[in-house]
Amino acid sequence: MNIETIKTFQSLKTPFYYYDTALLRATLQVAAQEAEHHGFHLHYAIKANANPKILEIIQGYDIGADCVSGNEVARATECGFPANRIVYAGVGKSDEEIRLALEQEIFCFNCESLPEIEVINAIAGELGKKASVALRVNPNVDAHTHHYITTGIEENKFGFYLYDLDHAIAASRNMENINLIGLHFHIGSQITDLTVFRGLCLRVNEIQARLKEQGILLPHINFGGGLGINYDCPTCGLIPDFASYFQVFADFFEAQPGQQLHFELGRSLVGQCGSLISRVLYVKEGKHKKFVILDAGMNDLLRPALYQAFHRIENLTSVQPHEKYDIVGPICESSDCFGKDRDLPATHRGDLLAIRSCGAYGEVMASRYNLRELAGSYFSE
């Protein structure tokens, strides 16, 4: 952030989310080009960041939407995503949400249980429509990430287990108002080891070979998302390596003739463009350490408290010699801590701190816990 930007920050009410839209556009451009190079279809996972301006920018890059609630489906259409590029996932879709998605005539429901598909079939029949469905398969592939964001092993609640897949396919194909068009996979989030995706490809190859023996060919394969970002050093990886990510699927997945491949990226598209900007309220001297107390709290950025997640923290307004601090918020919870034993320039009341890599799962997870106001958002242009 340049000096002029920091001067502007000084006059704004904190805390707030700051989005570098030039970086966002550059990231989207690279991701879209790399996907197009292989003929892959890209959908943005709205759960990462649902800010309307962010969504309006994203949909301008010929990217579809991946939604996990009825309100996300509504927000996607409001922000310009074409309905025929919207996929709708989630283990607990309500009747009202299903009806909304059917009325919008979205591209596909990613479904996770037969009871869900039976309800979609019934509601589609009431509306005189046919619902396109992909079965989310739990492939029992370990993403080697935090256990809260691993979704593709058998102990998770997500998807059809491999031993149930044949029955699920047969039952779905027998439902009058269901059009079974594909399989969906999503094994976790913040995956930085690309060999995990290679393992997923090999497992899906096995599944497809078994289905082919039964004469079953589904035209769409959705590999979900999960590509991680560099939280430790954002400037070392402002734009993730989309080329290597997509190349894994080009090299190791054996697509059947005419099959289309879909991807649902979220964090990797928006994570590095956002920062949470906060002002120092107090510096408190403890017995063995110093605490920097911010006006931002875990209600503004939940990830450190929920996942013990690391975010780089920078003092924007001090260049003095470094000291070690615990960076904490004002919430009445001991978990309201953004970082322990962090090296920062000597920090004082009124200094501005930037918590980096907050473009994903920052603003979208905010709450009004302790009746605090929701933080505002500002953009670089």
pLDDT confidence of residue 1 = 81
- Residues 211, 301, single domain; the answer is no
Q: Which of 204, 237, 271 is a domain's end point? A: 271
Q: Residue 148 carries which side chain, given as an amino acid letter? A: Y
Provide the CATH number for the domain around residue 289.
Answer: 2.40.37.10
DSSP run (H or E) holding 151: none
In the chain, alpha helices (H): 3-10, 21-38, 52-59, 70-78, 95-104, 114-127, 165-173, 195-213, 242-252, 267-270, 303-307
- Residues 262, 315, single domain; the answer is no
CB < 8 Å & 24+ apart, contacts of 152-160 = 152/185, 152/186, 152/187, 152/188, 152/200, 153/187, 157/91, 158/91, 158/112, 158/186, 159/112, 159/135, 159/184, 159/185, 160/112, 160/113, 160/135, 160/136
**How many CA atoms, within 13 angstroms, populate the side-chain half-sphere of residue 179?**
12
Rounded alpha-carbon distances, angstroms, from residue 283 to 11, 204, 295:
21, 53, 12
- Residues 207, 230, single domain; the answer is yes
- Residues 136, 264, single domain; the answer is yes
φ, ψ dihedrals at 290, nearest 5°: -110, 145
What is the span of the domain harbouring residue 109? 21-271
- Residues 246, 284, single domain; the answer is no
- Residues 159, 208, single domain; the answer is yes
pLDDT confidence of residue 238 = 95
Number of domains in the chain: 2
Q: Which of 217, 250, 271 is a domain's end point? A: 271
- Residues 133, 258, single domain; the answer is yes
- Residues 76, 209, single domain; the answer is yes
* Per-residue pLDDT of the chain in tens (381 residues, 90 and over written 9): 888 999 999 999 999 999 999 999 999 999 999 999 999 999 999 999 999 999 999 999 999 999 999 999 999 999 999 999 999 999 999 999 999 999 999 999 999 999 999 999 999 999 999 999 999 999 877 655 444 434 444 455 678 988 899 999 999 999 999 999 999 999 989 999 999 999 999 999 999 999 999 999 999 999 999 999 999 999 998 999 999 999 999 999 999 999 999 999 999 999 999 999 999 999 999 888 999 999 999 999 999 999 999 999 999 999 999 999 999 999 999 999 999 999 999 999 999 999 999 999 999 999 999 999 999 999 998
Q: How far apart are CA 7 and CA 34, in angstroms?
A: 37
- Residues 245, 290, single domain; the answer is no
Q: How far apart are CA 174 and CA 76, in angstroms?
A: 31
Q: How far apart are CA 280 and CA 295, in angstroms?
A: 6
Is residue 83 within 8 A of residue 43, CB to CB? The reply is: no
- Residues 44, 177, single domain; the answer is yes
Nearest Cα to 272, choosing from 323, 303, 234? Answer: 234
- Residues 160, 301, single domain; the answer is no
